[in-house]
Amino acid sequence: MALDGLYKIIIKNKHTIRQKAEDRINSLVDEYIPDSVEDAPCPTPAELERILAIREQIRQPLLTLNKKVEPLSNFLEKLPPILETIQIIITTLKLLPIPGIATTAGLVVTFGDTLAFLKDKVRDFKQEVRNGTQVIDGVNETIQDILTKLAELDELIEKCSEGAIEESPEFAALIEGQQKQNNENPLEEEYRGYQIKIEEEKVGKLTRRFAVAINSKGERSVVGNKSFSATTKILIDEAKFEVDKLLQ
């Protein structure tokens, strides 16, 4: 099959990312959130810096994988109606009467063989679409599972950041540097019929940002996770992933 090689590469990347991400996330959760975020003691500023660094190392490959899968997903979405149209044409041609004049037996056999060949190819491509859809669903499930686990760490970071900023000039400088970087990243983007925008709110001395996806009716279809530290590019990419799920 033409797409089998691509599917195998995507599956391999998914398994690699999942294994590395889950091992690191589970280790952090076991260490810092033994019961619940609400009851967990705040890590030191240095430990928060470590958690932030690991979180970004996990999140970025996930969103990169999603970007690689997105064109394939769009392609597979367009194939079924095309294949159905071809199948209807083949069926119609088979039902047409064969003219008796100036038509040789060889021509009839050749035409019939061509229709049978096309029918087989349509069947093969339909199976490839089904296989690809399963691969993409598996990738989306993996990304969602890991983002859900990362959300626990995000809650801990949000809970403890303000105190760490007061306590540690180094941590304050890290957050300030990330927020300046945010200002250099995109704050708005069109994506698959949705307007994705970055919004923000003040929490004490900090600015917390999040992405929203607005549909053609002006309604908020997606409201992303709120973060003091994630770049706007990552927030927008996460919103795109949620839009992709809406459109499945």
In 3D space, the residue among 136, 140, 131 whose CA is nearest the CA of residue 3 turns out to be 131
Burial of 79 (0-12, 13-18, 19+ CB in 10 A): middle
Centroid of chain to Cα 232: 16
**Position 140, amino acid:** N
Q: Where are the domains of the chain?
A: 4-167, 186-248
Contact (Cβ atoms closer than 8 angstroms) between residue 48 and residue 31: no
Q: What is the three-state SS of 56-79? A: HHHHHHHHHHHHHHHHHHHHHHHH
Give the pLDDT of the chain (248 residues) as one tens digit per residue. Answer: 567 788 888 888 888 888 888 888 889 988 999 888 889 999 999 999 898 888 888 887 887 887 788 888 888 888 888 888 888 888 887 776 655 545 555 555 566 777 788 888 888 888 888 888 888 888 888 888 888 888 888 888 888 887 888 888 888 887 777 666 655 556 788 988 999 999 988 776 677 888 999 999 999 999 988 877 677 877 888 888 889 888 87
DSSP classification of residue 168: -
Rounded to two decimals, the pTM is: 0.66
How many angstroms separate the CA atoms of 248 and 242, rounded? Answer: 10
Structure-block tokens of residue 15: 């398994």
CA distance 176 to 199: 17
Rg of the chain over Cα atoms, rounded to whole angstroms, equals 26
Instruction: Say how many residues make up the chain.
Output: 248
